[in-house]
Amino acid sequence: MIAQTVRGAKNRVVLCIPGFSDVVGAALIEAHQRLPAGQLLLVVDGTDKAARLGYGHFDAVFQVLQAGVPMRLEQGLRLGVLVADEQGWCFATPPLLVDATMEQATAPNALALNPSQIQPTLAALGYVPPTPKVEPPQAAPDKSAMVEIEKSTSRIEASASDKTDDLRTVGRVVATIEGLQPVQEKLRINPPQAFDVARKVQVFNSLVDFVEIEMTGTQLANQKVSLPPKLLLSVADDATRKRLTTSFSLISPQAKISDKSKELRQVLDAIRKKYTRSVTPYGVVALRTDREPLKRAIERVATQVKAYSEEIKKELGKEIEKSRKQLVESFLPALVKKPPKDLEFELVYGITDKPTKEQVRDWINDQLDKCFPAVDSLLREMEVRLVIKSVTFEMLKEANFQKLVRDAYPGMDWNKPFEEFSAAPAQVQTTLGY
């Protein structure tokens, strides 16, 4: 209908639109060639985002510009205006990514403008009415009279141009081929999806989400280090031997440093019990209505974990050093009695004397340096994570999954547990600058 109206216009066409199709583009090129100069004005969005949302086809916009049609740009433009001769309309074309109405043309989407609305609308778009021609006098004028006529005409045109710049609030940027070529290149490299396919992508608003809650680094009693095989030749005492296989418990089970971590895990278990439900074998779910309270509860625990890591920093260092000394003293007697060959080689090439006790102790410490973690690295691992994942449509269709969710929350009304709808992600548009 827009193309038909443009083709039927006799005096002027003003079109403000986010984007348009090839049919409208062809009509605009024809009107540009047919109408008087300055009587065709076009304002478009001109961005790749508008094309990806389905506001027309950018190729059509670029071809119209290449044909010489005067065009101006208004980024984020979503409202449409069409003035053909003395008639005008304000309209909206929904993006094809969301709605097929633009293709089907079955729903009303426009309001007719009356004459008192058309004029200020044209002024806002920067349309300049044709300048009245100054008719020369019947008698042949002298040169001075002709100069005055030319000056008068120039003043009228300059005044109209200044007034247009003052009133124009939409389409302040002049479109150029150089300015729109980068947009065309973006769309060539990454073209928009086929809109009829993209509309079939379903977005599901379910009442539950999958959640993963994890606390790491706080179980200090379970921290182990892998010991070098060179050190596992001999252990002097039974207490150390019980803690040794190929790994060594970094913190003694009797150490009080891990008591606070037990309290933190109990707090986290209480949060899990309050907000989540297990639906084995699918995972753990939580109600969407509990999403924000769950996040706040996890943030409080994360704050406590951070404070705990700062509090135990010195004590943790002492415990690690204590465990390290215990290992050194346990390995020392056997290694003094029978030093490893690489230790003898490291001391002096070809030496025949055995290394001293202090040299063996230094060598054991060197080996432990390679496997014992720094305190700061252990504290960095202390954190609480909450991961929320949406439930897929395929899972929502599974009768067993729905049964498990219903059983997990028996107090809820599950007559309509899930709502399915077609949509595209919405984005908030920035405030206009005028």
- Taken in order of first residue, the domains within the chain and their CATH numbers are 2-126+168-197 (3.30.870.10), 205-422 (no CATH)
Confidence (pLDDT) at 197: 54
Residue 385: half-sphere exposure toward Cβ, Cα within 13 Å? 8
Confidence (pLDDT) at 23: 93
What is the residue whose two structure tokens read 């990514």? 97
Whether the bond into 281 is cis, omega within 30 of 0: yes
Strand partners, 205: 419
Judged against a pLDDT cut of 60, whether residue 162 lies above it is answered with no
Judged against a pLDDT cut of 60, whether residue 430 lies above it is answered with no
Q: What is the DSSP string of 347-404?
A: HSTT--SPPPHHHHHHHHHHHHHTTSPPHHHHHHT-EEEEEEEEPPHHHHT-HHHHHH
Confidence (pLDDT) at 299: 94
User: Residue 43's closest CA among 176, 172, 182?
Assistant: 172
Mean pLDDT of 280-302: 92
Per mean pLDDT, which of 178-182, 240-244, 302-306 is the most reliable? 178-182
pLDDT level of residue 427 (50, 70, 90 thresholds): very low
User: Residue 40's closest CA among 72, 77, 62?
Assistant: 72
Judged against a pLDDT cut of 70, whether residue 420 lies above it is answered with no
Confidence (pLDDT) at 102: 54
Mean pLDDT of the chain: 77
Judged against a pLDDT cut of 50, whether residue 196 lies above it is answered with yes
Confidence (pLDDT) at 246: 59
Could you tell me the sign of the dihedral formed by the alpha carbons of 411, 416, 417, 419, in that order?
Answer: negative
Write out pLDDT tens, residues 99-139: 665 555 567 889 999 999 999 999 999 887 776 555 555 55
pLDDT level of residue 368 (50, 70, 90 thresholds): confident
Mean pLDDT of 61-68: 94
Helices (H) and strands (E) in the chain, counts: 18, 15
**Quick count: other Cβ atoms within 10 Å of Cβ 109?**
15
Judged against a pLDDT cut of 90, whether residue 396 lies above it is answered with no
Percent of the chain's residues with pLDDT above 70:
68
Judged against a pLDDT cut of 90, whether residue 258 lies above it is answered with no
Confidence (pLDDT) at 382: 76
Q: How far apart are alpha carbons 172 and 154 in whole angstroms? A: 23
Confidence (pLDDT) at 387: 92
Mean pLDDT of 170-194: 86
Could you tell me the sign of the dihedral formed by the alpha carbons of 375, 379, 380, 382, in that order?
Answer: positive
Judged against a pLDDT cut of 80, whether residue 87 lies above it is answered with yes
Helix (H, G, I), strand (E, B) or coil at 234: coil
Q: Looking at 10-14, 72-76, 319-323, which range is the least confident one?
A: 319-323
Judged against a pLDDT cut of 50, whether residue 424 lies above it is answered with no
Radius of gyration of the chain from its Cα atoms, rounded to whole angstroms? 39
Phi, psi of 51 (to 5 degrees): -70, -40
pLDDT level of residue 81 (50, 70, 90 thresholds): very high
Q: Looking at 334-338, 373-377, 389-393, 406-410, which range is the least confident one?
A: 373-377
Judged against a pLDDT cut of 80, whether residue 182 lies above it is answered with yes
Q: List b or e across 266-277, with b for residues whose CB sees 16 or more CB atoms inside 10 angstroms.
A: eebeebbeebbb
Strand partners, 210: 285, 389
Mean pLDDT of 160-171: 64
